[in-house]
Amino acid sequence: MARSDPPPPARAGGVLDIDLAAIAENWRRLGARLASPARAAAVVKADAYGLGMAQVAPALAEAGCTLFFVATLDEGLALRRLLPAVEIAVFNGLLPGTSGDFRQARLVPVLNELGQVAAWRDAADTRALPAILHIDTGMARLGLAPADVARLGAAPQMLAGLNLRAVMSHLACADEPAHPLNARQLAAFRSARAALPRAPASLAASSGIFLGADYHFDIVRPGVALYGANPTPGQPNPMTQVVRLKGKILQVRDVDSAATVGYGAAHRMERAGRIATVAVGYADGWLRSSSPHGSAGIAGQRVPVIGRISMDLMTLDVTGIDPALTRPGDYVDLIDEQHGVDDVAAAAGTIAYEILTALGRRHHRIYRGGAR
C-alpha cells in the first residue's frame, strides 16, 4: 500500500463516499440552465470544498470544464500540477512578491485593487498577461471600489499590457432572490462594465445562476452547487447528491433511567434505554454545535444524537431500534439521500459550505465515477 493510500474502512471511524460522476453531472446541469453565450467555470478552492481537488478537478476537466477558480496561490500552483492545460484564476489576488509564481505557472490573478493592476502590468514585459478585474458592487470584501473603477475608466492605459480575461463581481444575497441588494449589485456591475474596456463578464456563483438570465453574463462561477448543496434554499434541491457519510458503531450499552450521557452530563435519560457510540466526532467535521439537534439514520429510521459530540465520538439513542442493526462494526448513515448536507448544516446551525469543508481527512474515502 502506498503511503498516501487511505486506511482501509475497518481501520477508520467513518466512510466518506464522494461521487465524482455526480459532480460532473451537476456541472453539466448548471451549464444547461445558462442563457447563451454564458459558460460555467468551476470553483475548486479549499480542496474542492473539502472533497479533494486532486480527484474533483480532473473529473470536471474531463466533463469539459476549461476555467477553474481557486482562492490561494498555493491552491493555484497545486491545480496547475494536476491540469497543465486549463485556465486557472486565483481569487485572493496578486500579493507582493508573487508575480513570478503567477507567470511561471500561467495563473490568472484576480486583481482586487489598483496596486495589483499596476504590479501585474509591471510584470508584463513583452507579452500581455491575462488578468481578471474584480469590481466590488456591494460586498465590501474584495475588489475595486467605485472610485477605482472611475479612475480606470478615465485612464484605460492603466490596463495596457494586460489581457482582460474577465471583469467580475460577487453577489452578497444571491440565496435570497427577493433581496433588493441583488438588483442593486446587478445595476452597479453593468455600469462598472460600461466604464471599462470591453471584456467577458462574470457575476453569478451557484445561487446567482438561479436568479435568472440577467445574472449569467459570459461566465458563471459555481462552487457549492457542484458538490450537491442546495443553491435555492427553501425550494427543492435541483442538484444531485454527491456526498455520503457513514459512521461506525463502536459499542452499544443499555442504560438505566436517570443515567447521564457524555461530557458535562449534558443529557439525562428519561427512561431506561440503549445507546450506541459512533466513531465520528468534531475532529471529523461533525460539528459540536449539532449536539442538541443532530441525528443519524439506521435502516431508514432517524435516531437522535444525545449528549455532547466529543472529538472522536458521538452517542445515539437507539432505544427501540432492532439490536441486529446496531452491533459494533455496523454503520449508521450520517449523510445520505434522505438527510443531505443541507439537513446536516441546519441541525448544526450553519450552512452546507461549512459542513463540506469541515469533513476532514480522517474518514476512509471512496471516490466513484472518476476520470478514466
Ligand X SMILES: *Cc1c(COP(=O)(O)O)cnc(C)c1O
Q: Which of 224, 332, 334, 359 binds ligand X (CB under 6 A)?
A: 224
CB 362 within 8 A of CB 281: no
**Contact flag: residue 205 with ligand X (CB under 6 A):** yes
**282 included as an active-site residue:** no
- HEC string of the chain equals CCCCCCCCHHHCCEEEEEEHHHHHHHHHHHHHHCCCCCEECEECHHHHHCCCHHHHHHHHHHHCCCEEEECCHHHHHHHHHHCCCCEEEECCCCCCCCHHHHHHCCEEEEECCHHHHHHHHHHCCCCCEEEEEEECCCCCCCCECHHHHHHHHHCHHHHCCEEEEEEECCCCCCCCCCCHHHHHHHHHHHHHHHHCCCCCEECCCHHHHCCCHHHCCCEECCCHHHHCCCCCCCCCCCCCCCEEEEEEEEEEEEECCCCEECHHHCEECCCCEEEEEECCCHHHCCCHHHCCCCEEEECCEEEEEECCCCCCCEEEECCCCCHHHCCCCCEEEEECCCCCHHHHHHHHCCCHHHHHHHCCCCCEEEEECCCC
**Contact flag: residue 243 with ligand X (CB under 6 A):** no
- Residue number with CB closer to ligand X (46 or 250): 46
Smallest distance, ligand X to C-beta of residue 46, A: 8
**Contact flag: residue 112 with ligand X (CB under 6 A):** no
- Residue number with CB closer to ligand X (165 or 221): 221
Comparing CA positions, the residue from 263, 303, 309 lying closest to residue 288 is 309
CB 20 within 8 A of CB 56: yes
Q: Which of 223, 247, 285, 340 binds ligand X (CB under 6 A)?
A: 223
**Contact flag: residue 215 with ligand X (CB under 6 A):** no
Smallest distance, ligand X to C-beta of residue 227, A: 8
Residue nearest to ligand X (CB): 223
**Contact flag: residue 364 with ligand X (CB under 6 A):** no
**248 included as an active-site residue:** no
Residue range at the interface with ligand X (CB under 6 A); choices 10-18, 152-160, 219-227, 271-279: 219-227
Smallest distance, ligand X to C-beta of residue 233, A: 12
Residue range at the interface with ligand X (CB under 6 A); choices 77-85, 113-121, 220-228, 329-337: 220-228
Smallest distance, ligand X to C-beta of residue 140, A: 13
Smallest distance, ligand X to C-beta of residue 170, A: 4
Q: Under rule CB under 6 A, which residues in 277-306 are in contact with ligand X?
A: none
The binding track of 147-186 with respect to ligand X, each residue x by CB under 6 A or -, is: -----------------------x----------------
**Contact flag: residue 352 with ligand X (CB under 6 A):** no
Q: Which of 112, 182, 206, 326 binds ligand X (CB under 6 A)?
A: 206
Q: Under rule CB under 6 A, which residues in 25-84 are in contact with ligand X?
A: 43, 45
Active-site residues: which are they?
45, 263
The residues binding ligand X (CB under 6 A) are 43, 45, 91, 170, 205-206, 221-225
